[in-house]
Amino acid sequence: MDRWLAMRIFVHVAETASFAKAARQMQLSAPVVTRTVAALEELVGGRLLIRTTRSVKTTEAGARYLEDCRRILGEIAEA
């Protein structure tokens, strides 16, 4: 798994509050986005998102990780 891509996907899902919308906007398939976020959650050792049939929200840990991801990805873009 490309961790930087996984972080980008997670940020996009969190910001759009939708796996399907994030997949469309990133031109990826919905299953790829879902599997990538699941793999990232396994890597960090906890749930990052609360999924229901109508919404996607970050967990408390997910909100902290989201801020870290934004900062890290911003620093990578600057480099």
- Residue 53 pLDDT class (50, 70, 90 cuts): confident
Q: Looking at this protein, which amino acid is placed at residue 5?
A: L
Where do the domains of the chain lie, and which CATH numbers do they carry?
Answer: 3-78 (1.10.10.10)
CA pair distance 44, 34, nearest whole angstrom = 16
Ramachandran angles phi, psi of 57, nearest 5°: -130, 155
Closest CA to 44 of 28, 29, 64: 64
- State the pTM of this model: 0.93
pLDDT in tens, 17-48: 999 999 999 999 999 999 999 999 999 999 99
Closest CA to 57 of 31, 1, 19, 26: 19
State the average pLDDT over residues 45-58: 95
Partners of 62 in the β-ladder: none
Q: How many angstroms from the chain centroid is the CA of residue 76?
A: 17
State the average pLDDT over residues 3-28: 97
